[in-house]
Chain A
Amino acid sequence: MDKKKIIMCRCEDVTLEDLHKKIDEGYETFEDLKRLLRVGMGPCQANTCGQLIQKELASYLGKKVNDVKPHKARPMLQGISLESIAKEAKK
């Protein structure tokens, strides 16, 4: 299948081709790719693309999945509006 048509990160529309190009440039961890391609920075926060990209990094680099570090999960667990936090914080 055409690598340009395989979406790896649907929040940020990053394709398998984008991913391979960056890995070929020497960026070999999820954290590198996140910063340069925005994978995992969208609303799902890598809940969808995280494992997909971990597996792809393993297969493309010839490593075991266990040897590819998963992405760093950061707060929030889900999106919460600023005003709802502000409202609760004032109580």
Chain B
Amino acid sequence: MKKHVIIVGAGISGVSIAYHLAKKGVKDILVIDQGYFTNGATGRCGAGIRQQWATKMNCLMAKKSMEFFETAEKTLDYDGSIELKQEGYLILATTKDEEEQFKKNVKLQNELGIPSKVLNKEEALNIVPHLNPNAFLSATFCHTDGHLNPFKMTEAFYKASLALGVQFHFFETVKDLTVEDQLVKKVITDKEIYETDILINAAGGYAKEIGELAGVDIPVYSENHEILATEPVEKLQGPMVMSFSKNIYCQQVPHGAFLMGRSTPNQTKGHDISSSWQFLDEMSQTVCDIMPLIGKLNIVRQWGGSYNMSPDHQPIISKAIEVNNFYMACGFSGHGFMLAPMTGLLMSELVLGLKPSMDIESLSIERFNNQEAVHIEKSVV
């Protein structure tokens, strides 16, 4: 079977790329995913969307993506609700060093048009009264950050893509890629062999393995990040509360449940996404320290998901060096969901040779060959 474009991965990046390509008139697109709808990192994420970043590229991608989300239901003609809730992200500074860094972050964000600001302790307590005043020094706040339902947002892109003629194959696994003359010629799955002109790797946690099938070396790895959900309760908290130094993010979603997660220090690299009691121990203690009131809630479920980590914690949106029709959108380092609209737009422009909506040279895989050009994003939980 022949397909003009094959996208590996139907998570948020894959569906956004499919939509943006189809919207630009590209025909004969197939998206292949190894599992059920949003089985990978997208369906496992914390559902937060923020623009408060420490690197220019992440700020810009997040800001432009937020603008897309604000009108996404209409743009994509979605028959459901994407549950966009813009009640902000409150990021706590708990050390002097963090306070200094956050002032720099806010300055950069403001220069780029992101309406974040530094708040003193009292101002932060006005926004989230149940914060333990002794657990932090000050905070930053951006009122347009917030929440978005990952399943619904993915479905909105998915249905819009279907309407534009994109095909989707779920429960189909890419087993091999045949490369001749520095071009991917064939995609071999457990069900079919496809000839293709363009291969796009949006395989999330498995991006490195898809690269290896074509002899493309992608410097990413996956690691398990755990998360839990509580019972739903009446509205208690508007914004996402986050701390890098205390290692927590915690928000109440519109449905009423609280979602909270943290990263596991020295996590083993790999595809394990199981749940641990150690996570529960650490998560519970952290949230009870920062927000004792939330400690009253019952946990109903815990799970894990893959962060696809890049060396500088910024995405790789790029053509491969080794193979001329191999493109990749990976290495989002836990933040692919909130950047997805721009991922799709920029990838569609890259594939079609159009002028990019923003300069994406610093997202190219070639940046890792020049260590001086790498700016590591530190604002990651």
Contact = CB atoms under 8 A, between A and B. Distances in A.
Contacts, number: 80
Interface stretch (A1-9, A25-33, A52-60): A25-33
A79 B298 contact: yes
Contact of B284 (A27, A32, A85): A85
A36 B152 contact: yes
Nearest to B150: A35
B298 A86 contact: no
Contacts of B232: 42
Nearest to A88: B281
Nearest to B155: A36
A56 B296 CA distance: 36
Contacts of B229: 41
A82 B302 contact: no
**Chain B interface residue number, banded:** 20 to 34
Contacts of B285: 86, 89-90
Interface stretch (B33-41, B216-224, B261-269, B314-322): B33-41
Given A27-B37, A74-B275, A75-B302, A81 B296 contact: yes
Given A45-B301, A81-B295, A83-B296, A35 B284 contact: no
Contacts of B230: 82
A46 B297 CA distance: 20
A80 B298 contact: yes
Given A29-B36, A85-B280, A89-B285, A35 B151 contact: yes
B288 A86 contact: yes
Contacts of A76: 299-302
A83 B295 CA distance: 5
B212 interface: no
B37 A35 contact: yes
**Most B C-beta atoms less than 10 A away, residue of A38, A42, A74:** A74
A31 B39 CA distance: 8
A31 B36 contact: yes
A14 to B, nearest CB: 13
B287 interface: yes
B303 interface: yes
A82 B37 contact: no
11 contacts: A42-B232, A81-B297, A81-B298, A81-B299, A82-B288, A82-B299, A85-B284, A85-B299, A86-B281, A86-B284, A89-B282
Given A75-B302, A83-B295, A85-B281, 9 more contacts: A35-B38, A43-B231, A75-B301, A79-B231, A82-B287, A82-B294, A82-B298, A83-B284, A86-B281
Shortest Cβ-Cβ A-B pairs, 5 listed: A79-B298, A83-B295, A89-B281, A86-B284, A85-B284
Interface of A: 27, 29, 31-32, 35-36, 38, 41-43, 45, 74-76, 79-83, 85-86, 89-90
